Amino acid sequence: MEHLLNLLIKAIFVENVVFAFFLGMCSFLAVSKKIKTAFGLGLAVIFVMILTTPLNYLILTYLLKDGALAWIHPSLANVDLTFLAFILFISTIAGAVQIVEMAVEKFTPALYNSLGIFLPLITVNCSILGTSLFMQEREYNFVETAVFSLGAGIGFFLAIVLLAAIRERLRYANIPAPLQGLGIAMIITGLMGMAFLSFSGIQL
């Protein structure tokens, strides 16, 4: 139990997907102009993250890994399909996003309208696929995978809402013209990353 809590804290703060690995930077920079949209996107990312990563874990363990197909027929015991991981992972994510989109549209049209284009764009948010790939590389078990994906999602949510808040303030700042927009956003992300580095001092 303590181990899982550590994993969660680590995924949110110490190894924040945005500040430590630069994952999901595209939408992070593009959608962080207003707190409200950032909030919506962050929530959607958390949701897709905790849906797809455990799903990908199951696909990896029961279909792709070396010998994973043995449950179908013993003769398949030495089939290793791990090289198909990228294609299956991204298909799962694209499919899950599509389902989430349809569900949200059907049951809560208000949320659907406020999220707009950002919902389908989650498919190509690097942080989602990145979390699945980290799960594969670090060989988590199922519970760890679920906790890790929740942590990564919350980490992204936290990062994008924080940056949006800072950028709303920046509108009143006097920044040199060539640095406005993307340039200053990069540097602020760097500074926030440095702040998040202080969490690595936590003993877990």
Partner 1 sequence: MAVETAPAPVVEKKKEPLFSKKNIRTLRDPLDDNNPITVQVLGICSALAVTVQVKPALIMALGVIFVTAFSNLIISLLRHTIPTRVRIIVQLIVIATLVTIVDQVLRAYMFDVSKKLSVFVGLIITNCIVMGRLEAFALANKPWPSFLDGVGNGVGYGIILVVVAVFRELFGSGTLMGYQVVPQWAYDMGYVNNGLMMLPPAALFIIGVYIWIQRSINKKLVNVS
Q: Two tokens at 100?
A: 């989430």
Determine, following the binding rule CB under 8 A, whether residue 204 of this chain makes contact with partner 1: no
Determine, following the binding rule CB under 8 A, whether residue 65 of this chain makes contact with partner 1: no
98 versus 108: smaller Cβ distance to partner 1: 98
Q: Two tokens at 110?
A: 């208000």
Region from 1-9, 55-63, 77-85, 146-154 binding partner 1, contact rule CB under 8 A: 77-85
Q: CA 114 to CA 107: how far, in whole Å?
A: 14
Q: Which one among 5, 26, 58, 77 touches partner 1, defined by CB under 8 A?
A: 26
Determine, following the binding rule CB under 8 A, whether residue 194 of this chain makes contact with partner 1: yes
Determine, following the binding rule CB under 8 A, whether residue 9 of this chain makes contact with partner 1: no
Q: CA 125 to CA 39: how far, in whole Å?
A: 16
Q: Which one among 24, 42, 54, 151 touches partner 1, defined by CB under 8 A?
A: 24
Residue 135 contacts residue 148 (beta carbons within 8 Å): yes
Q: Two tokens at 76?
A: 């398949």
Q: CA 74 to CA 88: how far, in whole Å?
A: 23
Q: Which one among 67, 76, 80, 86 touches partner 1, defined by CB under 8 A?
A: 86
Region from 102-110, 145-153, 156-164, 192-200 binding partner 1, contact rule CB under 8 A: 192-200
- Residues 150-189 within binding reach of partner 1 (CB under 8 A): 176-184, 186-187, 189
User: What residues have CB less than 8 Å from 10, skipping those under 6 apart?
Assistant: 151, 204
- The pattern of x and - marking residues 31 through 60 that bind partner 1 according to CB under 8 A reads ------------------------------
Neighbours of 196 (CB within 10 A): 21
Rg of the Cα trace of the chain?
19
Determine, following the binding rule CB under 8 A, whether residue 87 of this chain makes contact with partner 1: yes
For residue 200, the minimal CB distance to partner 1 (Å) is 10
Tell me how far apart the terminal alpha carbons of the chain are, to the nearest angstrom: 13
The DSSP output letter for 41 is H
Determine, following the binding rule CB under 8 A, whether residue 91 of this chain makes contact with partner 1: yes
Region from 5-13, 50-58, 81-89, 107-115 binding partner 1, contact rule CB under 8 A: 81-89
- Return phi, psi of residue 15, to 5°: -110, 50
